[in-house]
Amino acid sequence: MLKVNQLTRIYDEKAVVDRLSFEVGDGEFVALLGPSGCGKSTSLKMIAGLETPDAGSIELNGKDITLLAPGKRELAMVFQSYALFPHLSVKENILFGLKARKVNKSDQQKRLNSVVDLVDLGEHLNKKPGQLSGGQCQRVALARAIVSEADLCLMDEPLSNLDAKLRNEMRSEIRALQQRLGMSVIYVTHDQVEAMSMADKIVLMNDGKVEQVGVPNALYNQPETVFTAQFIGSPPMNLLPSNAHWIGVRPEHIEIREGGTAAQVISCDYHGADTIVLAEVKRGDNETATVKLRHPGHALFEAGQGISIFWESTNEHRFPRAS
């Protein structure tokens, strides 16, 4: 459906997006994931037509839209800030784009009726945005995107302004709505939990480049780079020096067990269901490394206490130290 090929954007002689390539299938939910400043939002703006790429191409349904004006791309967009008109009612905000495109009134009403129940806004149509909660405002922004019946919906960190509880609820709502409507979505986020729980496919970016593209399970279980290994997972993967390689082991794959590697506890961080234990281990004659392990329940280890840690070799990942 959408094909992004070698997309590049340069600011002050630095490539903030560097030869970005990925595809979005019909009805697919794709997350652009990465730390702040990695080029996610710039990539989304180029797809939307709000920025012009310095190189590369964008195809939508086989049509080259790289230099097409934003209004002619038939895309919908949901912003971080909701971008609602404060003086217009919920109904007027939802229909604003259709009115601007001079869609006939009967079609406007038909589309409005079909969307208000989906996003549970039937009782709020005559209210102004200032009378709504953050979650309700986000639903208005989603409804406005849905009624446009666009081929592709672009979402730029739409949940980052919400509190943690509401974010969790809206994640489920957006994903369920996307699946029910069969919408194609590109979702920009720096939150790996959002990407892992919502996306069919993740495009992980770092410093303008693609680190890895794949289903969430592949990025977690088969990280192709050190960056992927340490960005995906909480706490991140441990990296232990070993000759010419780093040995990567996830905290949840390390146990406290007799007969393993000697370690010394540095601290314990109790999370309720489990405890994250930070410990130091010796690696060879001159090297030491710190590891985090996830221990079930409430661990009462003292700082400086000696423990024995163990992991199965099948849970090891190896990365070359030189690159």
Closest CA to 118 of 74, 201, 75, 182: 182
Question: In the structure encoding, which two tokens stand for residue 263, read together?
Answer: 């370690």
Domain end position, chosen among 196, 226, 256: 226
Domain end position, chosen among 201, 226, 251: 226
Indicate if 292 and 167 belong to the same structural domain: no
What domain count does the chain have?
2
Indicate if 13 and 134 belong to the same structural domain: yes
Cα separation, 77 vs 145, whole angstroms: 6
Indicate if 137 and 26 belong to the same structural domain: yes
Indicate if 204 and 255 belong to the same structural domain: no
**Domain CATH for 306:** 2.40.50.140
**If phi over 0 gives left and psi between -120 and 50 gives alpha, with beta otherwise, what is residue 258?**
beta
**Domain CATH for 113:** 3.40.50.300
Question: In the structure encoding, which two tokens stand for residue 289, read together?
Answer: 């490394």
Closest CA to 138 of 169, 97, 99, 103: 169
Cα separation, 147 vs 165, whole angstroms: 27
Domain end position, chosen among 226, 254, 274: 226
Query: What are the angstrom distances between the C-alpha of 85 and each of 108, 144, 146, 161, 228?
Result: 18, 12, 17, 17, 40
Domain that holds residue 221: 2-226
pLDDT digits (tens), the chain, 323 positions: 999 999 999 999 999 999 999 999 999 999 999 999 999 999 999 999 999 999 999 999 999 999 999 988 889 888 878 889 999 999 999 999 888 888 888 888 888 888 887 787 888 999 999 998 888 888 888 888 888 888 899 999 888 877 888 788 888 888 888 888 888 999 999 999 999 999 999 999 999 999 999 999 999 999 999 999 999 998 999 999 888 899 999 999 999 999 889 999 999 999 889 999 999 998 877 788 999 999 999 988 999 999 999 999 999 999 998 87
pTM, entire model: 0.88
pLDDT for the residue 3: 97
Query: What are the angstrom distances between the C-alpha of 135 and each of 131, 143, 157, 235, 322?
Result: 12, 12, 14, 29, 47
Beta strands 29-33; 201-206: pairing state = parallel
Question: In the structure encoding, which two tokens stand for residue 204, read together?
Answer: 């992980």
Helix pair angle (164-181, 134-147), 10° resolution: 20
